[in-house]
Amino acid sequence: MIKESSHGQWSGQAVFIMAATGSAVGLSNIWRFPYLAGEYGGGIFVLIYLVCLALIGLPVIMTEIMIGRMGKQSPINSIRKISEQNGRSRHWQTIGWMAVLASFLILSFYSVIAGWSMAYVFRTFTGVFDGITQDGASAVFGYLVNDPERLLAWHTIFILLTYAVVSRGVKRGLEPAVKILMPSLLALLLIMLAYAINEGEFFKGIGMMLFPDAGQLGSVKNLGFVILAAMGQAFFTLSLGAGAIMIYGAYLPSNVSITNVSITIVLLDMLFAIIAGMIIFPILLSTGLNDVVFNNGLDGAYGPGLVFQTLPLAFGQLSWGNLFGGVFFILIVIAALTSSIALLEPIVTYLVERYSWSRRHAASLSSLIAWILGLGTILSFNVWSDFHPLASIELFANKTVYHLLDMLASNILLPLGGLATVIFAGWILPWRMAEDELSMGQEYCGFALWRIAVRYSAPVLLFIVFVYSLLKAMGYLADTP
Ligand code: TRP
């Protein structure tokens, strides 16, 4: 058996944890989790979310790391190799193809949005938001996204940054990058937390997140939606179904416990999300903007509206808001960069394996294609804002190119890939092989639990997540985020 992936290997457990946590911690930790908690039952939501992490997140992340380490190649070739070794159909490699396609599509628009964050670093530092009004903040955002050239410039810079890291490979690119970026991310997060404690209404803000108005969970129907939203978030936030965790697992040294690192990553991801809420809520509350978020229009409540309109408005009212607003946007850029690296890596490794290209060559070509695809997203916000490619299908009649790309990747390919992955691990892969990989020859009591999860509970739950996100994409569940 080969000892090390031909692409390289992490120098230890800590680097792997940093890299995988870096891929997991991204925009959704900042702009979705706090909102879900504040809107859907606070502490109760957090508990439901924890259960979802345990039932879906943990078994799936373990499975992806395990498959990666067994195959030690790109997701496509790892799954194919394992299938062939065990006399199974090589078509299981389709899982890898879906994952690679999904991560590619996500990269194309993730980069555009990361580009907005870079633009906002400068806008905040230079005081554009000083004492700005709500209309003013919307205008600044509108001005940015209405200008395709500006968006293109930032998108290009961000893709180049991602390229610069990935083209250097695991040892000289990814590893040094996460070693610098992840501690910086943590430091910035703590600085922002200190600022929120100092400037914001800290305890009231946390109360708002953890103890929101009673009655949110009032009806069983609502509770059902809350659980669905929590399951979807638990899956998306851990970067599952995209091949990212799998390829990182391919570089994991064989003496590291997959169970331990998985639990650590899941907890760190959740910690980042909760701290993000502990920063955002007190800041909104102290400027009275919580009303904008939770009682009026939903527009500024989560997603881009929160980060690019409501929060700048809040920073504009606080003392030292320019400085700390800028720090906040740097934080977002770093969180996005550690995710985009993980999005580019699966396709690059595949090209290197398939065509024996140099990494630099493979990374150039795939970055170029992601860059071109990103043009579709850029134009969706301005020139093509009325262009609806699937207009002839009623359900998609008003979806822009960006909406369609996002939907295909996040709502269809990721959950479907996750579902296929657990079915593969639970029903196709010989369980002795899984047991060897997970236990590493030691007494291991978690195996039975993992096996029940990947055979029964996780497939059922992921199927539900898949149907839910499909319905949501088609607009049947418009009233839930
Ligand atoms: N986990 C990222 C976030 O929370 C988004 C994401 C989904 C992702 N799938 C991914 C990032 C795959 C990297 C790789 O924002």
Please count the helices (runs of H) and the strands (runs of E) in the chain: 25, 0
Judge whether 440 lies within some domain: no
Judge whether 436 lies within some domain: no
Give the domain extent around 222.
13-374
Average pLDDT across the chain, whole number: 92
Does residue 343's CB lie within 6 angstroms of at least one atom of ligand 1? yes
pLDDT at 112: 97
CA distance 199 to 376: 40
pLDDT at 462: 97
Does residue 78's CB lie within 6 angstroms of at least one atom of ligand 1? no
Closest by CA position to 234, among listed 61, 49, 64: 49
Q: What is the reported pTM?
A: 0.95
Total domains, the chain: 1
CB 95 within 8 A of CB 421: yes
Judge whether 261 lies within some domain: yes
pLDDT at 321: 94
CA distance 71 to 144: 44
Residue whose Cα lies nearest atom 12 of ligand 1: it is 239
CA 25 to centroid of ligand 1, rounded, Å: 7
CA 102 to centroid of ligand 1, rounded, Å: 10
CA 287 to centroid of ligand 1, rounded, Å: 31
pLDDT at 1: 61
What's CA 229's distance to the chain center, in Å?
A: 15
From the alpha carbon of 242, which atom of ligand 1 is closest?
A: 12
Exposed / middle / buried, residue 244 (Cβ in 10 Å: 0-12, 13-18, 19+): buried
Ordered per-residue pLDDT tens for the chain, 481 residues: 678 999 999 999 999 999 999 999 999 999 999 888 888 878 888 999 999 999 999 999 999 999 999 999 999 999 999 999 999 999 999 999 999 999 999 999 999 999 999 999 999 999 999 999 989 999 999 999 999 999 999 999 999 999 999 999 999 999 999 999 999 999 999 999 999 999 988 998 888 788 876 555 555 557 888 899 899 999 999 999 999 999 999 999 999 999 999 999 999 999 999 999 999 989 988 887 766 555 544 456 678 888 999 999 999 999 999 999 999 999 999 999 999 999 999 999 999 999 999 999 999 999 999 999 999 999 999 999 999 998 888 778 888 999 999 999 999 999 999 999 999 999 999 999 999 999 887 777 889 999 999 999 999 999 999 999 888 888 777 555 5
CA 454 to centroid of ligand 1, rounded, Å: 22
pLDDT at 191: 98
CA 434 to centroid of ligand 1, rounded, Å: 26
pLDDT at 297: 44
Judge whether 86 lies within some domain: yes
From the alpha carbon of 241, which atom of ligand 1 is closest?
A: 9
Judge whether 361 lies within some domain: yes
Structure token pair of residue 385: 């804002």
From the alpha carbon of 238, which atom of ligand 1 is closest?
A: 1
Domain CATH for 168: 1.20.1740
Closest by CA position to 244, among listed 379, 96, 110: 96
Quote the crossing angle between the two packed helices 359-380 and 321-355, to the nearest 10°. Answer: 130
CA 220 to centroid of ligand 1, rounded, Å: 30
Judge whether 467 lies within some domain: no
Does residue 339's CB lie within 6 angstroms of at least one atom of ligand 1? yes
Does residue 245's CB lie within 6 angstroms of at least one atom of ligand 1? no
From the alpha carbon of 343, which atom of ligand 1 is closest?
A: 14
- Side chain identity, residue 188: L
CA 335 to centroid of ligand 1, rounded, Å: 10
What's CA 474's distance to the chain center, in Å?
A: 21
Judge whether 258 lies within some domain: yes
From the alpha carbon of 27, which atom of ligand 1 is closest?
A: 15
pLDDT at 95: 97
Query: Mutation test of ligand 1: which of 239, 246, 406 has the most ligand atoms closer than 8 Å to its C-beta?
Result: 239
CA 239 to centroid of ligand 1, rounded, Å: 4
Residue whose Cα lies nearest atom 15 of ligand 1: it is 26
Closest by CA position to 437, among listed 200, 208, 249: 249
For 198, the 3-state DSSP assignment is helix
Does residue 103's CB lie within 6 angstroms of at least one atom of ligand 1? yes
Judge whether 149 lies within some domain: yes
Instruction: Give the E-state strand segments of 72-174 in sequence order.
Output: none
pLDDT at 80: 97
